[in-house]
Chain A
Amino acid sequence: MIAEIGLASLWLAAVLALLQLAGGVLAFRTDGTGGENPMGMFIRPAAIVQAFFAACSFVALLYVFAVTDLSVKLVAANSHSAKPMIFKLAGSWGNHEGSMLLWVTVMAFSGALIAALERRLPERMMQATLAAQGFVALGFYAFLLFSSNPFERLEVPAPEGMGLNPLLQDIGLALHPPVLYFGYVGLSVAFSFAVGALLTRQVTPEFARVSRPWVLAAWVCLTMGITAGSYWAYYELGWGGWWFWDPVENASLMPWLAATALLHSISVLAARDALRAWTILLGVIAFSMSMLGTFLVRSGILTSVHAFAVDPERGMFILVLLGIYIGGALLLFGLRAGAVAEGERFAATSREGALVVNNVLLSATLGIVLLGTLYPLLTEAFDVRVSVGPNYFNPVSAIFVLPMLVVMAIGPLLRWRRDRLERVMKPLALLTVIGAVVLAIVALVADIAFLPLVGLALAAILAVASFIPLRRRKLTRVPLATWGMVVAHFGIAVALFGMASESAFSSERLAALEVGETAQAGPWRVTLNGVDPVAGPNWTALEGRLAVRAEDASRTSEPIMMAPQSRTFWAPVQQTTESALATRWNGQLYAVLGNQLDDGRWQLRLWWKPFVTFIWYGGLLIAFGGVLSIIGRVRKDLTRRSVRSRLASRRADERALEAAA
């Protein structure tokens, strides 16, 4: 019954998306004649009610998973009655159909938010925007209803479910997709705004100011989602790495790169009315990257650890949707962008100039990642199988990322419109000295590779540079949005430091230990105290007990205890390694328990990774900077609007008084 309610809700939501689209088209077409089409008034309510039905449908799915209704095919294929509740719920989006339902639910939710809250733009533009949002949603509803129905029943209920992939039975991964989806699909709002602006030919600073907080919010979610995903891969997969350039990781990185570029160009449009066409194009590209990512993951066209639905028919369906939406938006861009008057001009040495360089370099990085991700597709057309890995991505993306980081250090110091480099000579000299000193010290003390070396120096430069915009300003009066920029840029420095330090200074140790023996890993002495069997709700495991002491600590000092596990799940049967982490302020000790050898010794893999945690601290700081910026921008905009409306009403009063006198 609940499953049928879910399916019915999905149909209703689809119909409302159609109403949203039809209302938009009618209102748009008849607008020229002067009269307003009454259909226009349905658009906002339709968006809100559509989100309500989509949410109902998703809640119904959560319910059938929570009670493990095994007559629903999806539940039988992906859940198991003996799973802990949180993973039963997470199972609802840990599969193809459920994750697509989450996708459209988030899409409907984003649309409803702008329909309910956004009243700052001309109504005509909002109608076009919401119609575009409805149009995109409609395609994905069709995809769910016609080829990926999550509520499909089995004729005979299964006696027991097949279970959820054990790798996904982890709290990090249970929560990571929803956050990521809010980012991915939240970018649909930027896309719809861009389409709305093109349709109404109003690419204005006002449009930029209004869409900026929405883009920021999606970007914050995307940042957090990527950070969480990276940390999950790091501790759950047991390979000790934090980024693998897997197609699916790239699929989340590409929208982030595009959204980051969009964020910066939208600021130029808002502040200076420049970069109009470019901003629109980025708005289209950002969400296109999300859709492309969905296609790559869902069609199974690329081989990836994440690809879980290999079905060419579904792939073709999404590909057609991609063609309609991205192709349509880019066609619209080609037709209309020429008519968007060129924006304000600016000198090369200016804040805008630096932002343009940043934009170009971000886009180039995006291009590099896109090329690397699609390259296997290209070569397979010629029957050559390749896999593109870090050997390509690391150096090639560094070509663009390193100069971008340099520009990032300098850009915020420059003034809008026109500036002279001489004016910022002092801070530039300071930064150069810092960079050179760090470079020299590290190069002398440690023998490390080129990229991590440059990374460390740049991290030092950026860390200082990110705070320079605050100099000679009263800290209490600095706008919140500026704080947001400072924190986010500092977060980049922190993350960069973590990445460089991890790749430069990690030490790895493979040891085979008897119980009681000790191995050395970095500055730590690790003693194997024993290996015991333990049992969880749906797994059994061998758990190593490790006592860890610092190199220079006495033998009797209190050790840190670590317990890495090798788990065996039984539904479905799969082994996972649960690494154990000991976190110190200056790094993490990472331990993985391997097999027992024939002579009774246990394999242990140990890494000491100095400052690796800074990668994710940095990611969190970047997201926090985004949050500060949203609050700052929205508050400032609302204040300005209320001041303006109060002024207008006072002027009206005065005029009325004069008229009366």
Chain B
Amino acid sequence: MSRWKLFVPLGLFALVLGLAAYQLNQPKDDRIVSAMVGKPLPEFALPAALNGGQPVTNAMFADGKPRLLNVWASWCLPCIAEAPQLEALDEAGVEIVGVAIRDKPEDIAAFLETHGDPYSSIGADDLSELQLALGSSGVPETFVIDGQGIIRHQHIGDIRSEHVPELLAELREAQE
């Protein structure tokens, strides 16, 4: 066997190593954007999550006013982190509809007590059915819904303070 052939395994390994090193330093985007963006909301009717609250249906979104649809849960830690930003949006006059995933009324009440209540109404999605229909893969996620009930934008993960203007811009765009 000629000597250079003995170095073939090393060469192949160097290739794999280089490729792996390159890939490792690439920013990785694991976020899966919903295929529902740009489409109308699926038909749904969620019962109220709080005793004495309003039920949430897709029909509510077709009155010409853009809204935020916030998918969250009282057991979710990043939801606590985004609570102040939702408050800020609420104060800016945005109507926020909540969808509580696999939650209990008493836990929701406790959460709103502690972290504030920016929601106009909250629907209970006990089996994640609406969440799956929306193409949302986790909590929290926030959707911008325009006045015709069409999903215009999806925000994955908690809303940080720098995202508030972005969402307001999206809402203004949805208004036009």
Residues of A participating in the B interface, judged by any CB pair closer than 8 Å: 277, 281, 284-285, 288, 292, 295, 299-301, 303, 310, 312, 315-316, 319, 322-323, 326-327, 330-331, 333-334, 337-338, 374, 377-378, 380-381, 573, 595
Q: Whole-angstrom distance from the CB of B18 to the nearest CB of chain A?
A: 10
Q: Verify A285–B9 contact, CB threshold 8 A.
A: yes
For A281, list chain B residues within 8 Å (CB).
Answer: 9
Known A312-B25, A315-B24, A316-B24; contact A381-B9, beta-carbon cutoff 8 A: no
Q: Verify A327–B13 contact, CB threshold 8 A.
A: yes
Contact of A330 among B13, B22, B23 (CB under 8 A): B13
For B6, list chain A residues within 8 Å (CB).
Answer: 277, 333-334, 337-338
Report the bound CA distance from A553 to B16 in whole Å. Answer: 59
Can you give 5 A-B contacts (C-beta < 8 A)? A301-B24, A316-B25, A319-B24, A330-B7, A573-B75
Contact of A327 among B10, B21, B30 (CB under 8 A): B10
Chain A minimum-CB-distance residue to B16: A374
Report the bound CA distance from A310 to B6 in whole Å. Answer: 35
Q: Verify B17–A327 contact, CB threshold 8 A.
A: yes
Q: Verify B21–A377 contact, CB threshold 8 A.
A: no
For B102, list chain A residues within 8 Å (CB).
Answer: 573
Residues of B participating in the A interface, judged by any CB pair closer than 8 Å: 1, 3, 6-7, 9-10, 13-14, 16-17, 19-26, 28, 30, 75, 102, 127
Chain B minimum-CB-distance residue to A296: B20
Q: Verify A381–B22 contact, CB threshold 8 A.
A: yes
For A327, list chain B residues within 8 Å (CB).
Answer: 10, 13-14, 17
Report the bound CA distance from A643 to B5 in whole Å. Answer: 43
For B9, list chain A residues within 8 Å (CB).
Answer: 281, 284-285, 330, 333-334
Q: Verify B127–A301 contact, CB threshold 8 A.
A: no
Q: Verify B19–A381 contact, CB threshold 8 A.
A: yes
For A285, list chain B residues within 8 Å (CB).
Answer: 9
Chain B minimum-CB-distance residue to A377: B23
Known A281-B9, A333-B6, A333-B10; contact A319-B17, beta-carbon cutoff 8 A: yes
Chain B minimum-CB-distance residue to A383: B26
Q: Verify A374–B10 contact, CB threshold 8 A.
A: no
- 9 interchain residue pairs of minimum CB distance: A330-B10, A334-B7, A334-B6, A337-B6, A315-B24, A330-B9, A338-B3, A312-B24, A377-B23
Q: Verify B10–A334 contact, CB threshold 8 A.
A: yes
For B22, list chain A residues within 8 Å (CB).
Answer: 381
For A322, list chain B residues within 8 Å (CB).
Answer: 17
For B1, list chain A residues within 8 Å (CB).
Answer: 277, 338
Q: Whole-angstrom distance from the CB of B28 to the nearest CB of chain A?
A: 8
Q: Verify B17–A303 contact, CB threshold 8 A.
A: no
Chain B minimum-CB-distance residue to A374: B16
Q: Verify A301–B20 contact, CB threshold 8 A.
A: yes
For B25, list chain A residues within 8 Å (CB).
Answer: 312, 316
Q: Verify B10–A378 contact, CB threshold 8 A.
A: no
Contact of B20 among A319, A337, A595 (CB under 8 A): A319
Q: Whole-angstrom distance from the CB of B128 to the nearest CB of chain A?
A: 9
Report the bound CA distance from A377 to B20 in whole Å. Answer: 7
For B19, list chain A residues within 8 Å (CB).
Answer: 374, 377-378, 381
Report the bound CA distance from A573 to B74 in whole Å. Answer: 12
Contact of B23 among A334, A337, A381, A595 (CB under 8 A): A381
Known A285-B9, A378-B19; contact A303-B30, beta-carbon cutoff 8 A: yes
For B75, list chain A residues within 8 Å (CB).
Answer: 573
For A573, list chain B residues within 8 Å (CB).
Answer: 75, 102
Report the bound CA distance from A380 to B26 in whole Å. Answer: 10
Report the bound CA distance from A288 to B13 in whole Å. Answer: 10
Report the bound CA distance from A319 to B17 in whole Å. Answer: 7
Report the bound CA distance from A331 to B9 in whole Å. Answer: 9
Q: Whole-angstrom distance from the CB of B19 to the nearest CB of chain A?
A: 6
Report the bound CA distance from A315 to B17 in whole Å. Answer: 12
The interface centre, meaning the residue of B1, B3, B20 with most chain A CB atoms within 10 A of its CB, is: B20
For B16, list chain A residues within 8 Å (CB).
Answer: 292, 374
Chain A minimum-CB-distance residue to B101: A573
For A380, list chain B residues within 8 Å (CB).
Answer: 23, 26
For A310, list chain B residues within 8 Å (CB).
Answer: 28, 30
Q: Verify B20–A295 contact, CB threshold 8 A.
A: yes
Q: Whole-angstrom distance from the CB of B167 to the nearest CB of chain A?
A: 27
Chain B minimum-CB-distance residue to A572: B75
For B13, list chain A residues within 8 Å (CB).
Answer: 288, 326-327, 330
Q: Whole-angstrom distance from the CB of A278 to the nearest CB of chain B?
A: 10
Given contacts A301-B20, A334-B3, 4 further A-B contacts (CB under 8 A): A288-B13, A301-B24, A312-B24, A573-B75
Q: Verify A331–B24 contact, CB threshold 8 A.
A: no
Q: Whole-angstrom distance from the CB of B55 to the nearest CB of chain A?
A: 17
Report the bound CA distance from A377 to B16 in whole Å. Answer: 10
Report the bound CA distance from A381 to B20 in whole Å. Answer: 10
